[in-house]
Structure 1
Amino acid sequence: MIRVKGHLIVKVSICALSLTSCASLKKSTTRKTTTTPASANNNHRVEFIDGIATNRHTHNTNNYNNRDISISKNITRGSANLENAQSWQFKYAQLLDVPVEDVLNYKLYNFIEEWWGTPYRLGGKTRDGIDCSGFVNTLMNTVFQMGLTGNSTNLFTQVKRLPVHDLHEGDLVFFKIHHKRISHVGIYLENDKFVHASTSNGVMISDLKEPYWKKYFAGGGRL
């Protein structure tokens, strides 16, 4: 009888130990699977594709439409190497609502960062004030070495027209705001987002899908 009781006591102890271990494991596993980066926004979660790893270590330029595009160094695609991404990439990935590994053009986004919030001033060309065409010309000349001049109407005559779904980073977008002719221009980025010097908020990023811009959108094109 003592052996049976002892046997039963041992079995109960083992079961209790097993249950305690499972609970601890479950808690540990739960913590690992629910951890998110502190910088991630719940409404704009940055998604990554596992298993894709394209290292960029020494080559810092790329070419698109005959434009030299500066690429950030040491950027690795893949969720296992997110620590290599820079804070500016996370910032603009959220603003554009795109994966962080798609935001690579450091020269472009550094330019936007430096000019962000510059007030609108008709005919202006400095950080004290700049208009839409002045901003487009300055960005395109600085980032893409295009040598542009002219106002929004002139620029519209220089581009090859493209549908919105074919627009890429560095293409131009045009608007007819309270005019029958082109009166505003911006630079396409990604995911229907464009950067421009707006009359109300200065240099900023807007969305072509917003009702206001959708109403006055006149077309996009490539130089």
Structure 2
Amino acid sequence: MKRFFGFAVSVALFCSVQVGSAFAETPLSQAVNEELGAPYKWAGTTAKGFDCSGYTSFVFDKFGIDLPHTSAGQATLGTTISQDQLRPGDLVFFNTGGKGISHVGIYVGNGKMYHSATNQGVIVTSLSESYYAKRYVTAKRILSDDQFEQLMTDNS
């Protein structure tokens, strides 16, 4: 039942976060959706369990992009962008522990991010959700314009 529910949520979210056609599947949407529902695991880097930076590293590795396995380390990469400049594939960072950057997610459009949350595993969350809105620190653009275009091209 849990797997079915995860699949149903994945399909619904996939359709709601797509850029362009509701039926388009891009390499980026496919990559983030594949592990939706995977459990949280501290220091986890596989579908058996991810921590936040393990999940982002796992997704970006599918495209040949190597990210450090810490959210703070990932925040040192790329180009800093403002929240109103976010595009799918950008990394968004949060201070959840009061001591600097401690959480990361992948922005997917429509104000939402995919991330591995401690008590929920890989989920989709709105950046406007109170908990994250209060803890937002910065965003980084890791993908070049060419990489972005490739990852946002419909696979069908």
- Sort the TM-score into its range (normalised by shorter chain): 0.7 to 0.9
Q: Tell me the CA shift for residue 130 of structure 1.
A: 1.0
The CA distance in 2 between the partners of 1:198 and 1:91, in whole Å, is: 17
Structure 2 segments unaligned to the other structure (5+ residues)? 1-9, 143-156
Q: Tell me the CA shift for residue 129 of structure 1.
A: 1.1
| Alignment partner of 1:190 out of 76, 94, 109 | 109
TM-score, length-normalised on structure 2? 0.76
Structure 1 segments unaligned to the other structure (5+ residues)? 1-87
Matched positions, count: 133
The CA distance in 2 between the partners of 1:90 and 1:204, in whole Å, is: 12
TM-score, length-normalised on structure 1? 0.54
Q: Tell me the CA shift for residue 164 of structure 1.
A: 0.9
Q: Tell me the CA shift for residue 179 of structure 1.
A: 2.0
Residues 89 and 100 of structure 1 are in contact (CA less than 8 Å); yes or no, is this contact kept in structure 2? no
Aligned counterpart, 1:108: 28
Q: Tell me the CA shift for residue 92 of structure 1.
A: 1.8
| Alignment partner of 1:160 out of 50, 70, 79 | 79
RMSD of aligned Cα (Å) = 2.2
The CA distance in 2 between the partners of 1:166 and 1:113, in whole Å, is: 23
Please tell me whether Structure 1 or Structure 2 has the larger radius of gyration of its CA atoms: 1
Q: Select the structure that is richer in helix.
A: 1
Change (3 A) 1:164 1:101: same
Change (3 A) 1:91 1:215: closer
Residues 89 and 103 of structure 1 are in contact (CA less than 8 Å); yes or no, is this contact kept in structure 2? no
The CA distance in 2 between the partners of 1:90 and 1:200, in whole Å, is: 22
Aligned counterpart, 1:120: 40
Q: Tell me the CA shift for residue 101 of structure 1.
A: 1.4
